[in-house]
Amino acid sequence: MKTMTKEEVTQLAIRKYEGTIRLVASAQDLERAIYVIRDEQVVGLDTETKPAFRKGQFHLPCLVQIATASVVYLFQLKRMEFSGALVEMLENPALIKAGIGLADDFSSLKKVFPFEPQNIVDLSLVAQLQGLKLSGVRNLAAQLLGFRVTKGSSTSNWASPRLTPKQIAYAATDAWVCRVLFLRFQQLGFLDPGGRPLPRRTGERIGDTG
């Protein structure tokens, strides 16, 4: 498949998640989120960390985003105790968790609370297996979904108790795109129905990116 140029990518329309976003801020919110997530087959997963601008500086993840079919949940880790619910989700073997670069996310997140993730699909690794040279979320969205995802808020202060509307939209979009890409990967024959990578099909062209 021909890789899109930067110029071609910049000509694509920008899209962001336009569905329901829930900031989990109470025990009732958490109970509802757990109920919805338990009923899903696949969720998009991402985390955000306050950026480090000095050499040797390190911050722990402060936001976990989980995208279901109907809503994206944002868990601000300093707001309240979420570890039990998040461990249940991450370790649930019946729930597919799809994301990009998840090894780094998990390495950092394990410094916040211990867990052993199960049924994880790292879309960047699947893309590489299929011969796609650029496997970041924005490149994959452009190449396979036909739209552009902005990087505008990536270096903002994710540790802030009050996230801005732009931060909320950015965070929700990243998790949502991961879920949409997972479904697109299945459609293209990159993954089987259970989310397991399939061998690369040589000599075939990927069709419409709609």
Cα–Cα dist 94/23, whole Å: 25
Q: Which domains does the chain have, with CATH numbers?
A: 6-187 (3.30.420.10)
| pTM, two decimal places | 0.90
Q: Which tens digit of pLDDT belongs to each residue from 2-36? A: 677 777 878 898 999 999 999 999 999 999 999 99
pLDDT mean across residues, the chain:
89
Which comes out higher in pLDDT, residue 203 or 104? 104
Q: Which tens digit of pLDDT belongs to each residue from 126-184? A: 999 998 887 788 889 999 999 999 876 666 789 999 999 999 999 999 999 999 999 99
Which comes out higher in pLDDT, residue 209 or 179? 179
Please state the φ and ψ torsions of residue 96, each to the nearest 5 degrees: -80, 130
At 44, the amino acid letter reads G
Q: Are 135 and 190 in contact (CB under 8 A)?
A: no
Cα–Cα dist 24/50, whole Å: 19
Q: Which tens digit of pLDDT belongs to each residue from 68-81? A: 999 999 999 999 99
